[in-house]
Each structure stands twice: as C-alpha cells, then as structure tokens.
Amino acid sequence: MRIVVLTGGIGGARFLLGVRAYAGEVEAEVTALVNVGDDLLLHGLKVCPDLDSVMYTLGGGADPERGWGRVGETWTVRSELAAYGAEPAWFGLGDKDLATHLVRTTMLNAGYPLSQVTEALATRWQPGVRLLPATDDRLETHVVVSGRSEPASPAVANRAAELDGGQRAIHFQEWWVRYRADLPTHRFVFVGAETAKPAPGVLEAIGAADVVLVAPSNPVVSIAPILAVPGLRDAVVDGRAPVVGVSPIIGGAPVRGMADRCLAVLGVECSAAGVGGLYGGRSAGGLLDGWLVAPEDAGTLVPDVTVRSAPLRMTDEAATAAMVRAALELV
C-alpha cells in the first residue's frame, strides 16, 4: 500500500508520526508532500520551516515542548547577531538548526534542487518517510496587509494605518512570527505559484498512491500553497486514490496555532464544517472523499463528503496511529 500525505509543519509532522507507525504495521510506503510556502532567506541562508519540522520530528531531533526547532538547542549565534543589531531580529535561528541551513544553502548554491537537498539531509535523520517538497521552485506565501511597516506600539500602528491606508505585502513569516497575525489582513498570495512545477517524484507519488491523506495542517497557509503548484491539485483530484482529510479544528478552535486568523481572512468559519467546506467534495470539483472530524464535531455535514468522527488529539504516537486508521477506514 502507498500512502501520500499533504502536510505543513508542526501539526503535519505529528500526524506523520502516526502515519509512519501505522505504515509499519501494514508495510505501507509513505510519501509526504511538504509545504514550501513558509520558506525564506535569512542572513543569506535558505530556511525551510515545514520541511525541517517534519524532518526533525520524524528523525527524533525536534524540541517536543516548542514543537519547532531542535531539542537541546542553544542560541549563541542569535545573541551575536543581536549584538550587531542584525535584522530580522524577530526570527531566531538556533545554533544546531543553523547547521541544517548552512548545509542546505551550500548544496542549493552548488546547483542541487531542493528535493535532492532534502533527500541528502534526510540521510542523517532517517525519517522513515519519503520527504518531498511540493516544488523545487520558489513559491512563497505573502500576506497583503495594511498599516505601517514598523509600528512602535499598537496605538502608533493604528494611527499609521489611518494615515496610510495603503496596502503592502509581507512574507508570511513576518506576518506570523513578528506580528502574530495581528494586522489588518486582506489576502494571501502564493508568489511564484503560476510558474512553479511539482518537484520530481511528486506527480509520480500521487499517481501511484492508494490513498491521499490531508494532514490536520493549517488549510490556508500549509495545504493551500501545496495545492497551488500547477498540476498538483489536478493530479490529486483526478487521480484514482481516494482523498481523506483530517480536521485541524476541534470544537470550533485550532488545537494550537492561529489557523482561526487565517480562516477569518478568507471569511471561512473556524469549524470542522468550515474547513471541510473549504476543501470541498471531490464530486463537486473539490478535494475530499472523506473528512475525519473530532467527536465534539460529530454531525458535521459537508456536501458530497463522507464525514466520520474519531478522537483527533495527537497526544502520542499510538493515539495518532489510531486516528490514521480511522481516516483510512473512511474510504
């Protein structure tokens, strides 16, 4: 059996722990198609937050408390950069994490595509799952906001927004990490999406899949940028494999993170029904055959989609593997 998973960072990485555990029982092969919309250049280094969250988590090197970055991390370089006043100061790179970005950037500069670089990095981490970036091309999520670029305080920011009603686009990471998604926000733009191509192996993996799972990742900024790669969404929707999504929203709230703020920008209700409806039923041109929601959301209706409920809190690997089993039983 071949399982393909569309995934973002932290939520997707935890889900993949369960997929890997399940796959071990039934001898399935797993390919993760990972969002690259969060990727950015920092201090000249290429940082791929979602690929790294997945790689560190599956490789046993992630910080379980923080959810991102390396366990046992130190921050010497960050303090040294701060002493120089180097910007951006709002994105901290740990010392251990930096080694990943140095190796990645060196390989990219030598001409290797991101998919090959990811494979090379994974030889160290042995994630047990094939990791593929959705695309090797630049595809960055930007956010169109109003307001001045460097508010000194919330009050100043409000005044600046009044004075200067102009809109500007900032990188998703700046919106998320620096501003905590707390700016007047108009829309998301996947820069480069029109010309991006699926990374080598992506369409083949989808074509060979027996089932495609949509991880309980952020639908707006983790899953949507993957589907924005031309040809990728069509391959999933027109493919022979059934598609099952798992809700990241339980009882009307994200389990963690700020998916509610992203959904609000799209005018989509923050609920299992809202996200299910956003993905849509496959027979009506949407993505899903099945939608797994939490027991709290039992009774959720999504037109043209089979909805079932099961416990969806990824408290440990066994609970998450049970969740994966429930998702696969749906189709």
Q: Which is nearer to Ca ion, 52 or 297 (CB)?
A: 52
Q: Which is nearer to Ca ion, 176 or 279 (CB)?
A: 176
Q: Which is nearer to ligand GDP, 157 or 214 (CB)?
A: 214
- Token couple for 17: 């722990």
Rounded CA separation 218/240 (Å): 25
Give 292's Cβ-side CA count (13 Å radius).
Answer: 24
- Token couple for 295: 């027991």
Residue 51: exposed, middle, or buried by beta-carbon count in 10 A (0-12, 13-18, 19+)? buried
Q: Which is nearer to ligand GDP, 185 or 247 (CB)?
A: 247
Size of the site for ligand GDP (CB under 6 A): 25
Is residue 305 within 8 Å of 278, Cβ to Cβ? Answer: no
Cα–Cα distances (Å) from 328 to 8, 246, 290, 325, 331, in that order, read 20, 11, 9, 5, 6
By CB under 6 A, name the one of 3, 5, 11, 300 that touches ligand GDP.
11
Site for ligand GDP in 30-89 (CB under 6 A): 50, 53
Decide if residue 256 touches ligand GDP (CB under 6 A): yes
Site for Ca ion in 40-79 (CB under 5 A): 50
Q: Of ligand GDP, Ca ion, none, which one does residue 254 interact with (CB within 5 to 8 Å by kind)?
A: ligand GDP
Decide if residue 174 touches Ca ion (CB under 5 A): no
Is residue 181 within 8 Å of 260, Cβ to Cβ? Answer: no
Decide if residue 173 touches ligand GDP (CB under 6 A): no
Least Cβ distance, residue 240 to ligand GDP (angstroms): 26
Decide if residue 218 touches ligand GDP (CB under 6 A): yes
What 3-state DSSP class applies to 266? helix
| Closest listed residue to residue 209, CA positions, set 241, 233, 177 | 241
Decide if residue 133 touches ligand GDP (CB under 6 A): no
What residues have CB less than 8 Å from 69, skipping those under 6 apart?
52, 56, 62, 63, 94, 97
Decide if residue 217 touches ligand GDP (CB under 6 A): yes
Q: Which is nearer to ligand GDP, 12 or 147 (CB)?
A: 12
Is residue 281 within 8 Å of 288, Cβ to Cβ? Answer: yes
Which positions touch Ca ion (CB under 5 A)?
A: 8-9, 38, 50
Interacting residue ranges for ligand GDP, rule: CB under 6 A:
7-12, 14, 50, 53, 215-218, 222, 247-248, 250, 254-257, 259, 312-314
